[in-house]
Chain A
């Protein structure tokens, strides 16, 4: 094993170090989206971000993706700067809207990131079909996106995000637009896929049960300015199935997350009173 690999094994997937993000600084519409956020995520870990609307979850995810840069502090992904990790396509990303390209067939949508990486056609076509099988849509390769249901489109988006086998998956409310049944189904599939490929996931959600079911750790955030108020460990083991949703430990986790979120609410109400 090369020294590099040894380093790689012990390296953290994501390190967020005293990150502050201010939008429109020194302008009337200035927003302190994040203040002094610290978070370290180990390889293979599934971490959810939860918190009231506007607390900076998407902003934090975008910082990890290097879609935007921090105002202060730094973000490391795979031991390199977030910007470098983006150039190396070290992560895949999925949003609430599947964001498939209407003019590309399903298989060509999945091929897009590989195409941009310069893979040759045969190789990327083979990988795309492999990914379609993984998300259980092998017979839809030639379909156009609009011919698929919302849940199927979201699966294609996940296949696309995972196509280059990135070590890190960033997801912003990917199941937010799905009905409850499809949603639970997709959650189970996502866990299987990520466990099989040992992918690290950072997952933004508004759903407490979703966060509990999926995560190893749930990061609870508060707004104005966006900060991490609590990190809830979820001890449901690594083999989670439909039975997990009935388990006492599952309900305990939900309660723990809910209480952490309540704390924010109370603080906000108190803050409101103090301001007067």
Chain B
């Protein structure tokens, strides 16, 4: 993207954001809204600055859960998609899996995991993130390993290529952009899953705990400060995914799409 276009793209949302915050501030001041109903942006900002260290440590706790789950889920997803391919059960398994993934709110499993481990354990949340990332990676990578161009397979056969060579020189390179697509989807999903998992109880150290608990204690501005922390963490993970996407685009002219579930 050239600088000129970057400005064209960045200016409208920036203007909108500033106007939004100013309007918010004006409404809260003008109608004299009570802080327990809606705090003013200025009050939220003060609470954010005052509680910065707390917000940061909570963001790190949630971020660590998201990151560990993201990495573990990715590794597991890749491994299982290879196993399924090895045993030729990709076709039968993956499509129903993709549908189930969209239809079933597997996030509720976090309550089950919570019950299995000590209440001070981070494992249930990480398991939850891992599980959700696992499915996203599995569905996409499996697709990349499977949807190989028929001409490529015939060429490899005409070269008398070994099954291993077909894997390393055709299927895996074919699946790589699908993996990046999966990560692009999975990175923001991992953060959201980590937050939501923290709502379900367990250790009280993440953003997903502090946001509702501060609201419950009528410390609304502080709760909103944690919301800012959540936004920043989400943005960080989103940036990771944007970087991943640009890598795909650099490697290929037009990146083939993966499943955007």
User: What residues of chain A have their CB less than 8 Å away from a CB belonging to chain B?
Assistant: 62, 65, 67, 86-89, 91-93, 95, 97, 99, 101-104, 112-113, 115-117, 144, 146-147
Contacts and interface: CB of A to CB of B under 8 A. Distances in A.
A113 B154 CA distance: 13
B253 A65 contact: no
29 contacts: A62-B154, A67-B158, A86-B157, A86-B160, A89-B158, A89-B159, A92-B158, A93-B154, A93-B155, A93-B158, A95-B154, A97-B149, A99-B151, A99-B152, A99-B155, A101-B169, A102-B253, A103-B174, A103-B176, A103-B251, A103-B252, A113-B159, A115-B169, A116-B159, A116-B161, A116-B169, A117-B159, A144-B253, A147-B253
Contacts of A113: 159
Contacts of A89: 158-160
Contacts of B170: 101
Interface string B165-195: 1000110011010000000000000000000
Interface residues of B, number: 20
Contacts of A144: 252-253
A86 B158 CA distance: 6
A103 B254 CA distance: 11
A112 B252 CA distance: 19
Contact of B152 (A101, A116, A117, A146): A101
A101 B152 CA distance: 7
A87 B162 CA distance: 10
A62 B158 CA distance: 10
B154 A67 contact: yes
B159 A91 contact: no
Interface in B120-179: 149, 151-152, 154-155, 157-161, 165, 169-170, 173-174, 176
Contacts of B252: 102-103, 144, 146
A115 B160 CA distance: 12
B161 A67 contact: no
A99 B152 CA distance: 6
* Most chain B beta carbons < 10 A, residue from A86, A95, A101, A115: A101
Nearest to A98: B151
Contact of A91 (B152, B158, B253): B158
A84 to B, nearest CB: 10
B251 A116 contact: no
A103 B159 contact: no
B14 to A, nearest CB: 34
A65 B251 contact: no
A172 to B, nearest CB: 10
Contacts of A97: 149, 151
A92 B160 CA distance: 11
B25 to A, nearest CB: 50
* Most chain B beta carbons < 10 A, residue from A93, A95, A101, A102: A102
A55 B174 CA distance: 33
Contacts of B157: 67, 86
Contacts of A116: 159-161, 165, 169
Contacts of A112: 159, 169
A91 B159 CA distance: 9
A88 B252 CA distance: 33
A95 B151 contact: yes
Contacts of B251: 103
Given A67-B157, A95-B151, 8 more contacts: A89-B159, A97-B149, A99-B151, A103-B173, A103-B174, A104-B173, A117-B159, A144-B253
A103 B250 CA distance: 11
Interface in B26-77: none
Contacts of A101: 152, 169-170, 173
Contacts of A92: 158
Nearest to A160: B155
B261 to A, nearest CB: 24
Shortest beta-carbon contacts, A-B, top 9: A146-B253, A99-B151, A103-B173, A116-B159, A93-B158, A87-B160, A113-B159, A95-B151, A116-B161
